[in-house]
Amino acid sequence: MAVHAHPDDESSKGAATMARYAAEGVEVLVVTCTGGERGDILNPAMDRPEIKADITGVRQREMAAAREILGVDQSWLGFVDSGFPEGDPPPPLPEGCFAAQPLEVASEPLVRAVREFRPHVMLTYDEKGGYPHPDHVKCHEVSMEAFEAAGDPDRYPGTGEPWQPLKLYYHMSFTLDRLLALHQGMLDAGLESPYKDWLKRWEDGDPQPWEVTTRVPCGEYFETRDKALLAHATQIDPNGFWFMVPLDLQRQVWPTEDYHLARSLVDTELPEDDLFAGIQEKACCS
């Protein structure tokens, strides 16, 4: 189960991993916390009045196309996008939005989803949300709450039979090591690197708070990932940043998607190359 804040997040973080496991017969569920209603239209070709008038429906249809490409199931928690507050000081959150919900209110439908789907592994963001969007931070909070609470029969009564996931990971999609490797790979190939400005912002130190514990080989699914990302046409410019590094170079330089193992109730040896490391042994022996 991959828990994400908005439609399109699932295609930019861990998408090739999900496509690989789905192709191997693993049941994969994306849980999308909000409808992305307050997201900006980031693709100039889609910045049209009729799109803006039906942004909720458009983003639902984009999500349906992306999940079909990835080969995964997907469900909505039903909360409203909080938007990204800008200003100094930032404005208050919109009334009733996801990030403004009390923790137990925001977590209840995710606990219900965990108890219904019964995942062995959960994927989410770290405590900073990967970046400080209030919905991403809230997504982390509800994911941690659901992981801890779903197996406790005394918590969240009426949301189904208890189920305890065994492992929880944080996405480590944009580590300094990965960006440096791709940057150098582009330069070595005589190509302009899209990461120059990004790396300059990191010159004062590596902002990565968590170590990478798990690298999942999934390079053969990078094209599937990109197709799913392009399905979110209001959010992704096909001529933009995401597609500047050739897929063959990506596969050569960095053929994995990377994670931090934040919680584990099974024995596993680090580093890992499989999100299910230790789980088969647990299932066989319990």
Please write the tens of the pLDDT for every residue from 169-178: 999 998 999 9
pLDDT band of residue 285 (cuts 50, 70, 90) is very low
Query: What is the C-alpha end-to-end distance of the chain, expressed in Å?
Result: 22
Tally of helices (H runs) and strands (E runs) in the chain: 11, 7
On whether residue 178 sits in a domain, the answer given is no
Q: What is the pLDDT of residue 283?
A: 44
Question: Within a domain: residue 265?
Answer: yes
Question: Considering the domain boundaries, does residue 232 fall inside one?
Answer: no
286: number of Cβ within 10 Å: 6
- Is the per-residue pLDDT at 280 higher than 90? no
Running DSSP on this structure, what letter comes out for residue 76? E
The reported pLDDT for the residue numbered 209 is 79
User: Two tokens at 276?
Assistant: 């299910």
**Is residue 200 a part of any domain in this protein?**
no
Residue 284, pLDDT above cutoff 70: no
Does 121 score more than 70 pLDDT?
yes
Where do we find the tokens 């189904």? 160
* Number of domains present in the structure of the chain: 1
Q: How would you label 21-54 residue by residue, b for 16+ Cβ within 10 Å and e otherwise?
A: bbeeeeebbbbbbbbbbbbebebeebeeeebeee
Instruction: Please state, for a pLDDT cut of 90, what percent of the chain lies above it.
Output: 86
231-257 tens-digit pLDDT:
999 999 999 888 999 999 999 999 999
Residue 30: half-sphere exposure toward Cβ, Cα within 13 Å: 30
Q: Is the pLDDT of residue 221 over 80?
A: yes
Instruction: Kindly report the CATH number assigned to the domain that includes residue 272.
Output: 3.40.50.10320
Instruction: Determine the Cα angle at 17 with ends 186 and 67, to 5°.
Output: 110
Q: What's the confidence (pLDDT) of residue 206? A: 58
What mean pLDDT do residues 112-135 have? 95
Question: Per the domain annotation, does 215 fall within a domain?
Answer: no
Task: Please give the backbone phi and psi of residue 226, each rounded to the nearest 5 degrees, phi first.
Answer: -65, -35
Across the chain, mean pLDDT equals 94
User: What confidence score (pLDDT) does residue 241 get?
Assistant: 85
| Per-residue pLDDT at 86 | 86
Confidence (pLDDT) at 50:
94
In-domain check, residue 233: no
> Does 263 have pLDDT greater than 70?
yes
The mean pLDDT value for 210-217 works out to 97
Query: Is the Cα dihedral 65, 71, 75, 81 positive or negative?
Result: negative
pLDDT of residue 278: 96
According to the model, what pLDDT value does residue 205 have? 64
Is residue 228 in a domain? no
136 is in an annotated binding site: yes
Tens-place pLDDT, residues 30-89: 999 999 999 889 999 999 999 999 999 999 999 999 999 999 999 999 999 999 988 888
Q: Where does the pLDDT of residue 90 fall: very low under 50, low under 70, confident under 90, or very high at 90 and above? A: confident
Span 92-120, mean pLDDT? 97
Residue 166: which domain range? 2-173+256-285
- Alpha-carbon distance of 66 to 231, in angstroms, equals 6
**Residue 216 included in any domain:** no
Average pLDDT (206-229) is: 93
pLDDT above 90: residue 286? no
**pLDDT confidence of residue 203:** 73
**Can you give the pTM of this predicted structure?**
0.95
